[in-house]
Amino acid sequence: MDTLNIAILGCGTVGGGVAQIISEINNDLTARANKKIVLKRIVELDPQKASDRFNLPLDLFCGSGKELTNEEANRFVQEIITAEDIDLVVETIGGKSDFVYNLCLDILNSGKHLVTANKALLAERGEKIFEAAESKNVKIGFEAAVCGAIPIIKTIKESFTGDKVLSVSGIMNGTSNYILSQMQNEKLEFETALKMAQESGYAEADPSLDINGGDAGHKLILLIKLAFGIDISKEDLSINGIENITKEDIDFASEIDAKIKLICYAKKINGDIYATVRPMLVKNSNFLSEVSGATNAVRINNKYSGIHILVGKGAGSTETAMSIVSDIIFIARYGDKIQNLSAKQQRKFADAREFVFPYLITFHTGNIPGTTGFIATAIGKQEINIETVSHNRHTGEKAMFSVATMPCTLGQIENAIEEIKKEKPGMLLSEPKIMPILY
Amino acid sequence: MDTLNIAILGCGTVGGGVAQIISEINNDLTARANKKIVLKRIVELDPQKASDRFNLPLDLFCGSGKELTNEEANRFVQEIITAEDIDLVVETIGGKSDFVYNLCLDILNSGKHLVTANKALLAERGEKIFEAAESKNVKIGFEAAVCGAIPIIKTIKESFTGDKVLSVSGIMNGTSNYILSQMQNEKLEFETALKMAQESGYAEADPSLDINGGDAGHKLILLIKLAFGIDISKEDLSINGIENITKEDIDFASEIDAKIKLICYAKKINGDIYATVRPMLVKNSNFLSEVSGATNAVRINNKYSGIHILVGKGAGSTETAMSIVSDIIFIARYGDKIQNLSAKQQRKFADAREFVFPYLITFHTGNIPGTTGFIATAIGKQEINIETVSHNRHTGEKAMFSVATMPCTLGQIENAIEEIKKEKPGMLLSEPKIMPILY
Q: Give per-residue pLDDT as tens, B363-421.
A: 999 988 999 999 999 999 999 999 999 988 888 889 999 999 999 999 999 999 999 99
Looking at CA atoms only, how far is residue A98 from chain B in angstroms?
30
pLDDT score, position A89:
98
Q: Are A54 and A10 in contact (CB under 8 A)?
A: no
Strands A3-9 and A36-43 come out as: parallel
| Residues on chain A touching B323 (C-beta within 8 angstroms) | 162, 305
Rounded to whole angstroms, the Cα distance separating A368 from B253 reads 50
pLDDT score, position B135:
95
Residue B261 scores a pLDDT above 80: yes
Q: Are B301 and B167 in contact (CB under 8 A)?
A: yes
pLDDT score, position A302:
98
B159, B313, B337: residue with CB nearest A333: B337
Element (H, E) at B199: helix B190-199
| Residues on chain A touching B16 (C-beta within 8 angstroms) | none
Residue B8 scores a pLDDT above 80: yes
b/e burial code for range B252-277 (CB count within 10 A of at least 16 → b): bbeebebbbbbbbbbbbeeeebbbbb
Quickly list DSSP for A169-186: EEE--HHHHHHHHHHHHH
Rounded to whole angstroms, the Cα distance separating A213 from A240 reads 6
Q: Are B226 and B156 in contact (CB under 8 A)?
A: yes
Percent of chain B residues topping a pLDDT of 70: 100
Percent of chain B residues topping a pLDDT of 90: 87
Element (H, E) at A312: strand A306-313
Residues pairing with B297 in the sheet: B171, B311
A143, A304, A319: residue with CB nearest B318: A304
In degrees, rounded to 5, the angle at the alpha carbon of residue B297 between the alpha carbons of residues B293 and B301 is 155
A219 noted as active-site residue: yes
Looking at CA atoms only, how far is residue A102 from chain B in angstroms?
28
Q: Are A52 and A61 in contact (CB under 8 A)?
A: no
Catalytic residue among B219, B225, B259, B313: B219
Quick one: pLDDT band at residue B30, thresholds 50, 70, 90? Answer: very high
Average pLDDT score over chain B: 95
Catalytic residue among A157, A219, A261, A267: A219
Residue B353 scores a pLDDT above 90: no
pLDDT score, position A232:
87
Sign of the C-alpha dihedral computed for residues B145, B149, B150 and B151 taken in this order: positive
Contact A161 B32 (CB under 8 A): yes
Interface test with B, best of A161, A296, A311, A338 (most B CBs within 10 A): A161
Q: Residue B63: what residue type?
A: G
Residues pairing with B3 in the sheet: B36
Rounded to whole angstroms, the Cα distance separating A17 from B83 reads 50
Q: Are A63 and A47 in contact (CB under 8 A)?
A: yes
Element (H, E) at A134: helix A119-136
A304, A309, A322: residue with CB nearest B319: A304
What's the DSSP call for residue B156?
I
pLDDT score, position A288:
93
Q: Which residue, A169, A172, A191, is CA-closest to A182?
A: A191
Looking at CA atoms only, how far is residue A185 from chain B in angstroms?
14
Q: Are B93 and B120 in contact (CB under 8 A)?
A: no
pLDDT score, position A81:
97
- Whole-angstrom distance between the N-terminal and C-terminal Cα of chain B? 52
Q: Which residue has the higher pLDDT, A430 or B233?
A: A430
Interface test with A, best of B155, B161, B311 (most A CBs within 10 A): B161
| Residues on chain B touching A28 (C-beta within 8 angstroms) | 164
Quickly list DSSP for A319-385: HHHHHHHHHHHHHHHHGGGPPPP---EE-PBPPGGG-EE-EEEEEEEES-TTHHHHHHHHHHHTTPP
Quick one: pLDDT band at residue B243, thresholds 50, 70, 90? Answer: very high
Residue B346 scores a pLDDT above 80: no
ipTM of the complex: 0.94
Contact A155 B151 (CB under 8 A): yes
| Residues on chain B touching A162 (C-beta within 8 angstroms) | 21, 29, 321-329
| Residues on chain B touching A150 (C-beta within 8 angstroms) | 308
Chunk chain A into consecutive blocks of 10 residues (it has 439) and report each block's average pLDDT, rounded to whole numbers.
96 97 97 96 97 96 93 96 97 96 98 97 95 96 97 98 97 96 95 94 90 97 94 89 96 96 92 91 92 93 97 96 98 94 74 90 93 96 96 89 96 97 95 96
Strands B88-91 and B3-9 come out as: parallel
pLDDT score, position A273:
86
Contact B161 A325 (CB under 8 A): yes
| Residues on chain B touching A32 (C-beta within 8 angstroms) | 161, 339
Q: Are B172 and B219 in contact (CB under 8 A)?
A: yes
Q: Which residue has the higher pLDDT, A397 or B306?
A: B306
Question: What pLDDT digit, counting tens, does each position of B155-166 carry?
Answer: 999 999 999 999
Contact A161 B316 (CB under 8 A): no
In degrees, rounded to 5, the angle at the alpha carbon of residue A375 between the alpha carbons of residues A374 and A379 is 120
pLDDT score, position A248:
94
Minimal Cα distance from B309: which residue of A?
A: A311
Looking at CA atoms only, how far is residue A37 from chain B in angstroms?
11
pTM: 0.95
Rounded to whole angstroms, the Cα distance separating A282 from B110 reads 53
Q: Which residues contact B424 (CB under 8 A, 6 or more apart)?
A: B374
pLDDT score, position B233:
87
Strands B272-283 and B238-239 come out as: parallel
Strands A393-395 and A398-405 come out as: antiparallel
A 10 A CB-CB count for B85 gives 11
pLDDT score, position A62:
96
Contact A29 B323 (CB under 8 A): no
Rounded to whole angstroms, the Cα distance separating A401 from B413 reads 56
Minimal Cα distance from A23: which residue of B?
A: B162
B302, B319, B334: residue with CB nearest A306: B319
